[in-house]
A and B are shown apart, each in its own frame.
Chain A
Amino acid sequence: MDNVTTITTSAKKQRRWQLPVNKLLPWLLPVAFLAIWQLSVSTGLITSTLVPSPWAIVQDGVDLWQSGTLQKNISISLYRATVGFAIGGSAGFLLGLANGLSQRSRALLDTPLQMLRNIPHLSLIPVVIILLGIGETAKISLVAIGVLFPIYINTYHGIANSDPELLEMGRSYGLSRWQLFTKVIFPGALPTILMGVRYALGVMWTTLIVAETISSTSGIGYMATNAQEFMNMKTVLLCIALYALLGKLSDLIAKGLESTFLTWREKGVTHNG
């Protein structure tokens, strides 16, 4: 017993002296990049009016925050993104469920949906602007359309590819249709559906960026176009950084969803079955 404790503590001590190389390594290049960038601007190697230093961008962010424009634009963008995602996501999910579960619904809807899917949704921007103007509805609809298809496809495939052996087992074990859905079909489809969610979150941001850049008077995308007109590189780069952060945020949300709903997959396969 004593031996064991000594061994573990000494192992811990040993580890404390080593640099956690594997944890630091991924950050090496980004940090080096920022450092070199900052240095090149500070030393005048790069013209700061053309390419501002990272620090200047941060300061620009602080200024915009203090004047209130930054929060306002971020929240309007977040609002468009979430509402568009909620509408398109639920529509795609419901269509996927219907077509995955019902032969009749599939026969009616799958082919038209597959045809529509081939239209790049961003090509609809002019149509949407003509029909809906440049108001909120236009941007929210574009996000919704963009998000709908990945969620639809993944829900549909996840449901339609339910394991026939598990279905047969469930039926022969007397499960009701509802139980069959909640205990067998849906949990089996969930990994595929969440993959669709993750992908759709990416589509959501790209769509919003494009929509706000082309036709808007608010939002992060508008901030960027507006800054571009004044040749304000600081704010343009700040907007790009914001998009990256928001993208990272949705990635974390997707990961969070996966680890909440797919705990069973993380339970290691300790034995072969």
Chain B
Amino acid sequence: MAEPIVTLQSIEKRYGARTAIHDVSFQLYPGETVALVGMSGGGKSTIMRLIAGLEKPTSGRLAYRDPHIVTRVMFQNDRLLPWLSVQDNVGFGLRDPAVTELLAAVGLAEAADLYPAQLSGGQRQRLALARALLAQPQLLLLDEPLGALDALTRRNMQDLIMRICAERHLSSLLITHDVQEAARMADWIIVVKDGTNVYQTAGAKGQGPTVVASVGEDVLQVILQPAVTP
């Protein structure tokens, strides 16, 4: 079994007196896509922000296999720079064959000289994806990037992300409210509730399904749902 690229052990994050997450422990393995699901305010984004290094845990151990790991976050609101053209958004003004290649890979080759305001919601997320890929990250962190898209566009984006992750042997962590999306895209699913990971499904890398904490009715519903959808 390969070594996990990220290990979280008893992670806690407090904002002042408020505990955002506590007792969070899990591992991400190379090439895996893992979904974080759970109710709003449960602590999913906080977990991701810690892994991305945007914030430091209050306590616990957060270890990377490669200390120089490159991670990239794809944010829910695309956070494109409105004053840069599509191609300049990818590399912050850098003109490089890699930029052109990425734009082609996400289907935006024709739109290279447009500005973000001229793109549709789906195109904007494609651009955000291209930008996230430029530094060739080992780990892609997706914080509900597809939340605002219509069903068809969303499905196309799911396919695109899965294809790109597979082609590039990218590991990814996907936050989503949509359990079907989680089931479709992820190798395994972590359920987050009240600031901790309460349950995880059987992982492809041999981890068994684990009940980390007592699971309530609401959470069980979330977990059982993907079983009935393909």
The residues of A with any CB-CB pair to B shorter than 8 Å are: 165-166, 168-170, 172-175, 179, 183-184, 187-188, 190, 262, 264-265, 267-273
A270 with B118: in contact, given A169-B75, A173-B92 (CB under 8 Å)? yes
CA gap between A169 and B118 in the complex, in Å:
21
- The B interface, classified by DSSP as helix, strand, loop or mixed, is loop
Range for the number of chain B residues in contact with chain A: 20 to 34
Contacts of B75 in A (CB 8 A): 165, 169
Pairs A–B under 8 Å by Cβ, sample size 14: A166-B81, A169-B73, A169-B75, A173-B92, A174-B135, A179-B92, A183-B84, A183-B93, A264-B115, A264-B117, A265-B82, A267-B114, A268-B117, A271-B121
Most buried by A among B54, B72, B79, B131: B79
CA gap between A213 and B206 in the complex, in Å:
88
CA gap between A166 and B115 in the complex, in Å:
16
CB nearest neighbor in A for B132: A173
**Does B183 have its Cβ within 8 Å of any Cβ on chain A?**
no
CB nearest neighbor in A for B117: A269
Return the contact of A187 from the options B83, B116, B118 (Cβ within 8 A).
B83
B98-123 near A? 1/0 per residue, CB < 8 Å? 00000000000000001111111100
CA gap between A58 and B93 in the complex, in Å:
52
Return the contact of B115 from the options A168, A184, A267 (Cβ within 8 A).
A267
A166 with B79: in contact, given A172-B73, A179-B92, A183-B92 (CB under 8 Å)? yes
Contacts of A168 in B (CB 8 A): 54
Q: How far is the CB of A189 from chain B (nearest CB, A)?
A: 11
Q: What are the 6 A-B residue pairs with the smallest beta carbon separation, nearest first?
A: A187-B83, A169-B79, A267-B115, A271-B120, A264-B83, A269-B117
Q: In the bound complex, do residue A165 and residue B83 qualify as a contact, i.e. CB atoms below 8 Å apart?
A: no
Q: In the bound complex, do residue B118 and residue A271 qualify as a contact, i.e. CB atoms below 8 Å apart?
A: yes
CA gap between A187 and B114 in the complex, in Å:
17
**Does B124 have its Cβ within 8 Å of any Cβ on chain A?**
yes
Q: In the bound complex, do residue A273 and residue B81 qualify as a contact, i.e. CB atoms below 8 Å apart?
A: no
CA gap between A265 and B115 in the complex, in Å:
9
**Does B41 have its Cβ within 8 Å of any Cβ on chain A?**
no
Return the contact of B124 from the options A170, A173, A184, A273 (Cβ within 8 A).
A273
B47-65 near A? 1/0 per residue, CB < 8 Å? 0000011100000000000
Contacts of A174 in B (CB 8 A): 135
Return the contact of B119 from the options A175, A183, A262, A273 (Cβ within 8 A).
A273
Contacts of A173 in B (CB 8 A): 72, 92, 131, 135
List 16 additional A-B contacts (Cβ < 8 Å) besides A187-B84, A264-B82, A269-B118: A172-B54, A172-B72, A174-B135, A175-B92, A183-B92, A184-B81, A190-B83, A262-B83, A267-B114, A267-B115, A268-B117, A268-B118, A270-B117, A271-B121, A273-B78, A273-B124
